[in-house]
Amino acid sequence: MDDLLPPAEPFRAKVVEPIRRLTRSQRLRALDGAHYNLFLLKSDDVYIDLLTDSGTSAMSDRQWGALMVGDEAYAGSRSFDRLRQAVEDVLGFPHVIPTHQGRGAEHVLFSTLVQPGQYVLGNVHFDTTRAHIEHRGAAAEDLAVEAIYDPHDASPFKGNLDVERADAFIRDVGPKAVALILVTVTCNTGGGQPVSVANLAAVRALADRWNIPFFLDACRCAENAYLVRQRDPGYAGKTVAAIVREMCSLADGCTFSAKKDGLANIGGFVALRDPALYQRAAPWAVLFEGFLTYGGLAGRDLEAVAVGLLEVLDHDYLAWRVGQVQRLWTGLRDAGVPLVAPAGGHAVFLDARRFLRHVPQDAFPAQALACALYADGGVRGVEVGGVMAGRDPRTGQERRPRLELVRLAVPRRVYSDAHMTVVIETARRTLARRAEIGGMRFVYEPSVLRHFTAHFAPIPAAELAQA
């Protein structure tokens, strides 16, 4: 009977943070002041902030309580022991190197495993992951299944690695040229799509065949496991905790940004099975992040992550959280907004190419759409298209990705479904006036991770029509 009641938050508010909606003309001024780069807006000028689900979670009362018992010792902190134990209990990896966030974990792991000229194979690498691989003088190869590039294809596991293509790639370049395989669960840049356990098992077999390390980018592993449970009938009767353990049992270790499924505002770690690899990685961790029992974090942060990792496995929480993203997806679809199907675990992705058919790729339609959504409703999303893809460091050419998307990432335990209704109404308004939306051009283009700090100027729709 309980299942028939409408879904509602499995928590109640104890602390609130006021937000306000600016007028449209104030928003247009703010947009101009931010050079049409939503990363440069002031958060106070944003009404509903769907820029990222990273570090934006509301912590629980237990996490706030845990902050008070953080052990701030430089070495041997008991808060580290708590984190290490939580990681072992939840993911099954006994060796843990805390880092200030996910990219710190990438820096440590790739410094240990990746040599110049090598390749790292993955489904779709996240932008900081790619940048860290390239920083090592290596190349990041995206080898996700073809379905991920088709926004209409509603296959359940579009985050899967194309194991056959990966096998052919390894055969071609030789196994010594492949530093590691890194599968991101869920596949954020590919639409927040999950990876099946069967696919992870096939990647394990591939890695064993060629003797190549296999890691997960596990920062959304609980959401991935929940979607496995929902979409793979073979897993319907298992707990999310058991599915997470099974996923991790197939890998040699993981990088983890605790700002996602760690339900914390900061933090990350590398987790490893092999003590010898831990010893190789440890000096890099000390160099870049800090001593091995704090890794660039305060002891209290380690506590918050340790508690968050356990809370995130709660079935009621995940059903509500992933359900909220799915309700947002359904509402937008019913409003006629072109979307990537199916809904991702943490985010909904708008298909900017279909939304703004008159804006060519070199005028950055997804950047233009993200700005329009802010102008129309104070909703901040993020461009996942040509701007984020950047240029190939070897040739200097624009990478021109196959998808031009705007991601609306939903922070965990933060917004209500009423907020999501505002988002849907905003997109409906933007859709109604889409013919008047033009493109964007760079005014200032930084060379690395350009999307964070670039400046743009709008290209009027009339000018695009003439070109």
Binding site for ligand F0G (CB under 6 A): 52, 54, 101-103, 126, 128-129, 184, 188, 217, 219, 257, 259, 268, 409
Between 371 and 459, CB nearer to ligand F0G: 371
Nearer to ligand F0G, 245 or 260 (CB): 260
Residues in the chain: 467
**Which position's Cβ is nearest ligand F0G?**
102
Min CB(317)–ligand F0G separation in Å: 20
Q: Which is nearer to ligand F0G, 126 or 294 (CB)?
A: 126
CB 438, min distance to ligand F0G, A: 26
Q: Which residue number, 161 or 461, has a Cβ lying nearer to ligand F0G?
A: 161
The β-bridge partners of 383 are 406
Q: Which residues, listed in sequence order, are joined to residue 49 by a DSSP beta bridge?
A: 380
Helical H runs in 264-385? 275-288, 299-311, 315-334, 352-355, 365-377
- Tell me whether residue 39 or residue 210 sits nearer to ligand F0G (CB atom): 39
| Residue 261 Cβ vs ligand F0G, minimum distance, rounded to whole Å | 11
Comparing CB distances to ligand F0G, the nearer of 258 and 437 is 258
Query: Residue 272: beta bridge partners?
Result: 95, 253
Dihedral angle over CA of 406, 411, 417, 421, nearest 10: -30
- Could you tell me if 180 and 195 are in contact, meaning their C-beta atoms sit under 8 angstroms apart? no
Report, in Å, the least distance between residue 434 CB and ligand F0G: 25
Residue 210: phi and psi, rounded to 5, are: -105, 0
Nearest CA to 403 among 191, 186, 220, 217?
191
Measured from the CB atom, is 341 or 410 closer to ligand F0G? 410
Give least dist CB 259 to ligand F0G, A. 5
Residue with the two structure tokens 């056959």: 164
Asked if 57 and 231 count as a contact pair (C-beta separation under 8 A), the reply is no
- Quickly list DSSP for 130-179: HHHHHHTT-EEEE-B-GGGG-TT---TTTT-B-HHHHHHHHHHH-GGGEE
Calpha distance 426→391 (Å, rounded): 32
**In whole angstroms, how close is the CB of 193 to ligand F0G at the nearest point?**
12
Query: Strand 253-257 to strand 214-217: parallel, antiparallel, or no bridges (unpaired)?
Result: parallel
* Shortest separation between residue 416's beta carbon and ligand F0G, angstroms: 21
Rg (CA), the chain: 22
- Rounded to a whole number of angstroms, the minimum distance from the CB of residue 148 to ligand F0G is 14
**Rounded Cα distance, 448 and 391, in Å:** 9
Least separation in angstroms between residue 221's CB and ligand F0G is: 10
Q: Which is nearer to ligand F0G, 346 or 353 (CB)?
A: 346
Residue 80 vs 269, nearer CB to ligand F0G: 269
Residues 6+ away with beta carbon under 8 Å from 54: 257, 259, 260, 409
**Which tokens go with 286?**
């000390």
